[in-house]
Structure 1
Amino acid sequence: MANLNGRARRKNTYDAIVVGSGITGGIAAKELTEKGLKVLVLERGRMVRHLEDYPTATLDPWQTKYPQGQLPPDELAERYKVQRRTGYTMTEYTQHFFVRDDTNPYTETNRFDWIRGYHVGGRSLTWGRQSYRHSPIDFEANAREGIGVDWPIRYEDLAPWYDHVERFIGVSGQAEGLPQLPDGVYQPPMEMNCVEKAFKAKSEARFPERRITMGRTAHLTAPTEEQLSLGRTKCQYRNMCMRGCPFGGYYSSNSGGLVAAERTGNLVIRPNSIVTELIYDEKAGKASGVRILDATTRKDEEFHADVIFLCASALNSAWLMMNSTSSRFPNGFGNGSDQLGRNVMDHHLGVGASGEATDFADMYYSGRRPNGIYVPRFRNLGDAATKRSDYLRGFGYQGGASRAGWERDLRKAGRGFGADRKAALTQPGPWSMGLGGFGEILPYEDNRVTLNRDVKDEFGLPTLTMNVTIRENELAMRKDMQNAAAEMLEAAGFKNVRGYDNGFAPGLGIHEMGTARMGRDPKTSVLNAFNQVHECKNVYVTDGAAMTSASCVNPSLTYMALTARAADHAVKARKRGDL
């Protein structure tokens, strides 16, 4: 029997295990396999193969079961009560890339919108693709202001890894020379339309400190040989990205990282594998592997490796660590600091302004550009001119201008019908423009998730309880976010400018961060400067859980850069025998 067990363990042993296959799991798999390690990627959800498993990628509106692909209200209420909170994710085109809430419960002490998808590729198939670097002031802010704990790294530590990731995934954008939004390695930017160009000229003339640039987005505009060799090509301006892109025009694990990893011959992907526990070897003083529940057979199995990367997303990685207890870690894996599950951050949104453009009625644009403009942070930049007395940190705007399409006024009374209505809809509607703010949320220690063993999921596993809110700092910022957006539109001559604040519940930014933060001191943080668990150096956490502060920019590029850096460190440390 011992011999049989030994053979089984050898069969299930790899150099490295990566938990999760999304935006960071794909990068971890690529980096580790390209450096020669045999890697097992464990994904809790089903297999999704590039090209083969995008069933709605080319579906036309008239081919859907329901009008415009809108799911029936009763189905949304029964199966997708949380996923529908975005207002845009749950459609016939995309429902297969999001979880059913009735089988994936969690508890909301305060409202928390947990938007997620369990499948190979994870949310890399449905992410917003906006790709910005955190700046030096972002890495320094906590220490300067006495908030949370200090980042154990600075911008200079991550800069070469930002370069590395941008070259691989392909980011289109415009260099601006702004210290608060560092430039990177870019393919040619997408083009602003005529209204956006006019807005930029007029708004910047009035507010020169509020720079307006094209969004920096992970879409190919001039593919490299490496990207072409992976089977990717230029973005086709279809703007159907959340269905999965058969062209590989935008970056996903399925079209990029996992493809590169598979081509090394060093990768095994095991879908339907719910990692339930990290196995801690008391004698060796390190993690020896992971325990999984096979979602198909409902049987437990163990896999072993020298190196383990947690890339399951901030909340799921925290869940796994909290669910992994032992005599060494009675309160959760690596949780000697009691910071595991705390300091939950997101980006707050749902606030800004919109207006109407009366000029350019004879102008239109080509294609459906999957991108918009970006206004980088212009508050609290470290000088007197930008300092605010009512809140810390800052925000940026994403937005754009467009003309109303054939869907306009579908529910409006007196909209007409028949030939006249059809003829009217062959012409584009009026121009409008909107600016939506994305603001930083501070790391509050009591913004936390905890393990709930009383509420179980469909597999009988414990779930999470969310207790996360925004505070006075964010509420004060939101007032400025609305007012400043309206100021810019009015300065540019837009009519009927309306500010709005639709309210916000954490989670809706879909940028969960901070549950296993990096830091300099094991007493106040979970991870060190290389994303290693302070108390168990062969376990790395490189998804959003690692973030020490949030900045106000989309965080996925930073996750990927941290992952590539950590993978490089892990391979070298393993070779030295340090793990």
Structure 2
Amino acid sequence: MIPRKKPEPVEVLIIGAGASGGTAAKVFTEAGIRVVALDRGPFLRNEQFSGDELKYLNRNYVWPDPQLKPRTYRPDEESPEEEVQFSPTPQGVGGGTIHWGGIVPRMTEDDFRLRSLHGDIPGASLVDWPIEYGDLEPYYTRVEWELGTSGLAGANRWEGPRSKGYPTKPVELTHYGRVFAQAMKKMGQSTFPIPQAMVTEPYRGRKAHVNSGFWQQYGDPVGAKSSTANTFIPDALATGLLDLRPDSYVREITLHPDGTAKGVIYTDADGNEVEQLADIVICCAGAIETTRLLQLSKSAAHANGLANSSGLLGANATFHEYLFAIGLFDKEVVDPLYPWAGHYTNTMSFDYYQTDYDRGHMLGTLIFASMLGHPVNWTFPGRPTWGQASKDADRDLFNHSMKLGVMVQDLPVESNKVDLDPNVVDAWGLPVARITHTPHANDFAQAKWQVAKNMEILEVAGASKIIPVNLEKITGNCCHEMGTARMGNDPSKSVVDKWCQTHDVPNLYIFDGSFFPTSTGVNPTLTIMANAWRCTERIIHVRGKGRTAD
């Protein structure tokens, strides 16, 4: 039997080198603290992202292989599980920031106080956040400037106060973005450039975005996409204090006899079992995989999973669902939209974001214009998929199509959860994550109203054919995972405190989207990164290199 490897202990151990893990690694190392960061996927460089589209869309180049790393889903505890590729976040250094569209609006001030605004909602577990917009604002700004973000300060009239604008100018308006903006103007509504994690002009040695539509689901060979793999991770490596270990599969967090975190056990790229000790352990693997790891780390002292004295680990899981309405335009009415030119998404509105009970539901969603898909895989209901008819559809329809998308702001429900599947294991023999989720009635009402509104906008824009895509169940198609280790002040009602320190294990932290008390209606990654920066600074200030907190 090959003995377990035991590298030298380290001050900070980060599990997952994506959005939150990359942020924490940068802040720790630039403060002079030595860090080991583990990621279960590879570290792909920019030049490795070039090549044909099929490797991304059909060959799992940046996506997890469902045969090796499956997940299961069921709508409720009485229903059987099915193996699905639920919220398939890329596994690798950079995490979801490798494939993301980079839509990074800030949360609004009201997003932090939904229970105070709306009270108790039957069937939901609505709470206020233990922090406010003002607590995150300085860190929103730091991330925007250090990461490299494009946008136009003040353009979103619903946004909270800003201490600084954006480092690069907003993305240029596309043809389909212009069609959306003109229709909204006719309806008396407003639009603004989408804040995006990309540079639109030379910035800190990086080239500007080349205005290609091949962005969403793709890696970026140019380096204009602001992933942590080409920004924060290189920053951390440049200090000489980051030991980055890709292709490392963590299977257990271990504890000292006093109940504090000791380190982790993982399998390295060569198949060796390794035990890494650390003063501080930070989970940054995403809400699904972090929850799974904590549940895999159960012991006699933690029979229901690590950091789960509240019984809420895995509960209140939320997943934005991306819905849209498709518009097809007659060639004689609208000039070609050329959706392959420019960013995949373009132009946004928050005018339907705030609650208006006259719509028959609470909360709302952002809305944005986008291309219908990439030329190699675009589709709409009834489109021919083979032969001359398929080619004719590509030629005649692709350049005259667009969609208006929304993300359903799903309410937290305690019974919506992530736990371990009792029957299905991954390629390493470990139980996979099982997602149990049925949308709240408010989610269905919100989705129905907003998709209908999108259809109305497309009609005003001049679309000759409009096709709705409605909510039937949560599929995790946004890859936004939140809420499974809720942040709160009361240890009996939450998993981590307002600094993302677990209530049960003082040197164990959770920085990914698990901490979200509510899902909010914006893409979560900017908030995840800003909060990781905030909490990392707190650890540096209060704990130093492994010292006990005051």
User: Secondary structure at the residue paired with 2:178?
Assistant: helix
Determine whether 1:153 maps to 2:126. no
The equivalent residue for 2:69 is 104
Cα distance change of structure 1 residues 238 and 470 upon mapping to structure 2, 3 Å threshold? same
Instruction: Compute the TM-score of the two structures, normalised by the length of structure 1.
Output: 0.82
Q: Is it true that 1:222 corresponds to 2:217 in the alignment? A: no
Task: Using the TM superposition, give the Cα deviation of residue 504 of structure 1 relative to its aligned residue in structure 2, in angstroms.
Answer: 4.0
Query: Which residues of structure 1 form unaligned runs of 5+?
Result: 62-68, 71-88
Task: Note the C-alpha offset of 1:362.
Answer: 5.7
User: 2:201 touches 2:209 (CA, 8 Å); kept in 1?
Assistant: no
Q: 1:153 to 1:359 in 2, by over 3 A?
A: farther
1:521 is matched with 490
Aligned mate of 1:44, from 40, 46, 57: 40
Matched with 1:280 is: 255
Is the alpha carbon distance of 1:402 and 1:243 closer, same or farther for their aligned partners in structure 2, counting shifts above 3 Å? closer
- Letter of the 1:391 partner, please give it: H
- Report deviation, 1:357: 5.8
Amino acid at match of 1:233: K
Contact 1:221–1:235 at 8 Å: present in 2 too?
Answer: yes
Match of 1:85 in 2: none
1:175-229 CA distance string (max 9 Å, x none): 3454534466322111223453354234223233xx222222111012433xx1x
- State the distance in 1 between where 2:91 and 2:218 align: 15
Give distance in 1, aligned partners of 2:223 and 2:47: 13
Partner of 1:32: 28
Which of 387, 390, 395 matches 2:357?
387
**2:302 counterpart of 1:316:** no
Corresponding residue for residue 505 of structure 2: 536
Give the alignment partner of residue 501 of structure 1, picking from 467, 470, 473: 470
Instruction: Summarize the Cα distance change of 1:233–1:265 in structure 2 as closer, same or farther, 3 Å threshold.
Output: same
| Larger Rg computed on CA atoms | 1
User: Comparing 330-339 with 31-40, which one deviates more in the overlay?
Assistant: 330-339
Find the partner of 1:174 among 135, 152, 164.
152
Q: Secondary structure at the match of 2:264?
A: strand
Residues 339-374 of structure 1 show CA distances to partners (whole Å, capped at 9, x for unaligned) of 101111011223334242657756666972124234
1:40–1:401 distance in 2 versus 1, CA, 3 Å: closer
Q: Contact 2:328 / 2:397 at 8 angstroms: preserved in 1?
A: no
Note the C-alpha offset of 1:450.
Answer: 1.3
Measured at CA, do residues 365 and 475 of structure 1 come closer, stay the same or move farther in structure 2, by a change above 3 Å?
closer
**166-175 or 141-150, which deviates more:** 141-150
Query: Does structure 2 conserve the Cα–Cα contact (< 8 Å) formed by 1:212 and 1:374?
Result: yes
- Secondary structure class of the residue paired with 1:40: strand
Q: Which moved more, 1:541-550 or 1:140-149?
A: 140-149
Alignment of 1:571 onto 2:535: no
Q: CA deviation at 1:391?
A: 1.6
Deviation at residue 413 of structure 1 after TM alignment: 7.0
Question: Cα gap change, 1:12/1:239 in structure 2, threshold over 3 Å: closer, same or farther?
Answer: farther
Counterpart for residue 240 of structure 1: 214
Report the equivalent of 2:231. Answer: 256
CA shift at 1:142, angstroms? 3.0
Aligned to 1:53, what secondary structure does the other structure show? helix
1:399 equivalenced with 2:399 (yes/no): no
1:39 CA drift (Å): 0.4
Amino acid of the residue matched to residue 555 of structure 1?
P
Question: Shift of residue 327 of structure 1?
Answer: 4.1
Deviations 1:8-58 (A, max 9, x none): 86x42111001011122111111111111100001122x32313533xx14
The answer to whether structure 1 residue 477 and structure 2 residue 472 are counterparts is no
Residues 318, 430 of structure 1: CA spacing in aligned structure 2 closer, same or farther, 3 A cutoff? closer
User: Is residue 196 from structure 1 mapped to residue 177 from structure 2 by the alignment?
Assistant: yes
Question: What CA distance in whole angstroms lies between the structure 2 residues aligned with 1:406 and 1:345?
Answer: 31
Deviation, structure 1 residue 378: 3.0
Q: Is the 8 A contact 1:198 1:492 kept in 2?
A: yes
* Whole-angstrom distance in 2 between the partners of 1:428 and 1:506: 28
Moved more, 361-370 or 328-337: 361-370
Deviation at 1:403, TM superposition (A): 12
> How far apart in 2 are the matches of 1:196 and 1:496?
18
Change in Cα spacing, 1:170 to 1:457, as seen in structure 2 (3 Å) is: same
Residues 375 and 415 (structure 1), Cα distance of their counterparts in 2 relative to 1, 3 Å cut: same
Counterpart-to-counterpart distance in 1, 2:386 and 2:350: 38
Look up the equivalent residue of 1:459 and give its one-letter code: W
1:91 equivalenced with 2:58 (yes/no) = yes
Distance 1:197 1:282 in 2: 62
Deviation at 1:452, TM superposition (A): 3.1
The counterpart of 1:296, out of the listed 270, 273, 285, is 270
Query: How far apart, in 2, do the equivalents of 1:404 and 1:573 lie?
Result: 48
Query: Which whole-Å CA distance do the structure 1 matches of 2:16 and 2:193 have between them?
Result: 32
CA distance in 1 between counterparts of 2:95 and 2:200 reads: 24
The one of 11, 19, 22 equivalent to 1:23 is 19
Indicate whether 1:268 and 2:243 are aligned: yes
How far apart, CA to CA, are the structure 2 residues paired with 1:37 and 1:244? 30
Which residues of 2 match residues 448-463 of structure 1 at below 5 A? Answer: 448-463=417-432
Could you say if the C-alpha distance between residues 396 and 362 of structure 1 is closer, same or farther in structure 2, counting changes exceeding 3 Å? closer
Q: Which of 104, 116, 133 is 2:89 aligned to?
A: 116
Q: 1:522 to 1:403 in 2, by over 3 A?
A: closer
User: Closer, same or farther in 2 for the Cα pair 1:488/1:298, shift >3 Å?
Assistant: same
The question of whether the paired residues in 2 share the 8 Å contact of 1:380 and 1:387 is answered with: no
Structure 2 residues without counterparts, runs of 5 or longer: 76-81
Cα pair 1:439 1:477 within 8 Å, conserved = yes
Q: 2:8 touches 2:276 (CA, 8 Å); kept in 1?
A: yes
Which moved further from structure 2: 491-500 or 21-30? 491-500
Q: Is the contact made by 1:349 and 1:504 (CA closer than 8 Å) also made in structure 2?
A: no
| Aligned residues: CA RMSD | 3.1
Using the TM superposition, give the Cα deviation of residue 272 of structure 1 relative to its aligned residue in structure 2, in angstroms.
2.6
Identify the residue that residue 78 of structure 2 maps to in structure 1: none
Change (3 A) 1:360 1:490: closer
Maintained 8 Å contact 2:38/2:244? yes
In the alignment, what sits opposite 1:127? Answer: 100
Q: Which residue of 2 aligns with 1:53?
A: 48
| SS in structure 2 of the partner of residue 165 of structure 1 | helix
Q: Report the Cα distance in structure 1 between the residues aligned to 2:143 and 2:308, rounded to whole angstroms.
A: 30
Write the letter of the residue equivalent to 1:398: F
Structure 1 distance, partners of 2:539, 2:388, is: 65
Q: How many residues in Structure 1 have an aligned counterpart in Structure 2?
A: 525
C-alpha separation between the residues in 1 aligned to 2:352 and 2:89?
32
**C-alpha separation in 1, matches of 2:153 and 2:19:** 24
Check the 8 A contact 1:344/1:448 in 2, yes or no. yes
| Native 8 Å contact 1:214 1:372 kept in 2 | no
Identity of aligned residues (%): 27
Identify if the C-alpha distance between structure 1 residues 429 and 374 changes in structure 2 by more than 3 Å, giving closer, same or farther. Answer: closer
Q: Measure the CA separation in 2 of the matches of 1:30 and 1:267.
A: 9
Label 1:489 to 1:49 Cα distance change in 2 as closer, same or farther (>3 A).
closer
Question: Counterpart of 2:79?
Answer: none
1:215·1:374 contact (CA, 8 Å) conserved in 2? yes
Shift of 1:119: 2.5
Spell out, residue by residue over 1:124-150, the C-alpha distance to the aligned partner (whole angstroms, 9 max, x if none). Answer: 211221111111111111333234332
Change (3 A) 1:474 1:342: same
Is 1:141–2:143 an aligned residue pair? no
